[in-house]
């Protein structure tokens, strides 16, 4: 069940993306070649929250993919992302999703902006680790994008911390940039492109 198999009628290959975040599904589907289709957790009857109990992105990413593979039997991939801010010693890092104690992006961004008040070094990076489980084997792919933490929230596109992250080479935050621009250059795009190269080499 659930192998990265080809549908002979459509020539389409299907993989489960182990995430409950529709923004991530949209972003990753837009990056994949047309013959790789991703389905979400609810499509395989998984409605529970995936475990994330470790203190590194690598371990949490692996934990989520292994959970889906072990419990549901599908070839799948997962990803875990962190915002790493130099002046905060790499925080929020693995705590990015609930930095202010909840998953609320407004509270999380406010906490970062408060801690960064008056700070000159505003350098930061988004880092993502993808874990792919294919035929029982595990593969990991990393992507990151460097940038600066803005002084205030700006823009309405995207999700999470996008309104306070200005990628290097740009004046605008991820939330001000056209979504397509973010999709091309994001941490997730870089990790996803490495995974796609690998998947393509397996076909
Ligand atoms: P997780 O990987 O789903 O645990 O996400 C970690 C945190 O990073 C969440 O708060 C997300 O909203 C945030 N996050 C993940 N990817 C992005 C992104 O591309 N832009 C802004 N925030 C992100």
Domain definitions of the chain by residue range: 5-202
For 126-179, what is each residue's pLDDT tens digit?
Answer: 999 999 999 999 999 999 999 999 999 999 999 999 999 999 999 999 999 999
The CA–CA distances, whole Å, from 182 to 29, 43, 159, 188, 191 equal 14, 27, 11, 9, 14
- Is the pLDDT score of 194 beyond 70? yes
Looking at residue 13, its pLDDT comes to 84
Ligand 1: distance of its center to the CA of 69 in Å? 23
Which residue among 26, 159, 167 is best mutated to probe the pocket of ligand 1, counting the most ligand atoms within 8 A of its Cβ?
Answer: 159
186 CB near ligand 1 (under 6 Å): yes
Atom 20 of ligand 1: nearest residue by CA position? 162
* Cα separation, 11 vs 194, whole angstroms: 22
- Does residue 152 sit in helix, strand or coil? coil
Q: Does residue 180 have a pLDDT over 50?
A: yes
pLDDT band for position 11 (cuts 50, 70, 90)? low
Vertex 39, ends 32 and 98: CA angle to 5°? 90
Is the confidence at residue 10, as pLDDT, over 80? no
70 pLDDT higher than 70: yes
Q: Which of 197, 152, 162 is nearest to 183 (CA)?
A: 162
Active-site residue 7, yes or no? no
Judged by DSSP in three states, 148 sits in strand
Distances (CA, A) of 98 to 13, 42, 91, 94, 111: 34, 23, 12, 9, 11
Q: Phi/psi of residue 131, each to 5°?
A: -120, 125
Instruction: Indicate whether 52 pLDDT > 60.
Output: yes
Q: Could you read off the pLDDT of 126-138 as tens digits, one per residue?
A: 999 999 999 999 9
Of the candidates 11, 35, 75, 80, the residue annotated as catalytic is 80
What class is the 5-202 domain? alpha beta
Tell me the three-class secondary structure of 93-135, residue by residue.
HHHHHHCCCCCCHHHHHHHHHHHCCCCCCCEEEEEEEEEEEEC
Give per-residue pLDDT as tens, 105-127. 999 999 999 999 999 999 999 99
Q: Answer yes or no: is the C-beta of 173 below 6 A from any ligand 1 atom.
A: no
The pLDDT assigned to 3 comes to 58
Helix (H) or strand (E) holding 15: strand 12-17
Which residues does 115 contact at the CB level (< 8 Å), separation at least 6? 88
Give the residue, 194 or 9, on which the prediction is more confident: 194
Whether the per-residue pLDDT at 1 is higher than 50: the answer is: no
Calculate mean pLDDT across residues 36-49: 92
Please state, in angstroms and rounded to a whole number, the distance separating the CA atoms of residues 114 and 155. Answer: 19
The length of the chain in residues reads 203
């Amino acid at each position: 069940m659930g192998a990265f198999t080809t549908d002979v009628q459509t020539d389409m290959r299907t993989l489960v993306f182990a995430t409950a975040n529709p923004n991530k599904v949209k972003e990753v589907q837009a990056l994949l070649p047309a013959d790789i289709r991703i389905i979400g957790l609810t499509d395989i009857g998984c409605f529970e929250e995936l475990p994330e109990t470790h203190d590194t992105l690598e371990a949490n990413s692996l934990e989520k993919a292994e959970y889906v593979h072990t419990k549901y039997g599908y070839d799948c991939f997962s990803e875990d992302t962190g915002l790493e801010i130099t002046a905060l010693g790499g925080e929020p890092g693995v705590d990015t999703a609930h930095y202010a104690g909840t998953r609320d992006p407004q509270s999380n961004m406010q906490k970062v902006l408060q801690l960064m008040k008056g700070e000159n070094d505003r350098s930061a990076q988004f880092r993502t680790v993808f874990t792919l489980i294919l035929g029982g084997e595990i593969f990991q792919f990393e992507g990151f994008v460097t940038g600066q933490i803005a002084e205030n929230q700006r823009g309405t596109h995207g999700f999470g911390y996008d309104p306070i992250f200005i990628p290097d080479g740009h004046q605008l935050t991820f939330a001000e940039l056209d979504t397509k621009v973010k999709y091309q250059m994001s941490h997730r795009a870089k990790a996803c492109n490495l995974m796609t190269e690998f998947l393509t080499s397996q076909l």
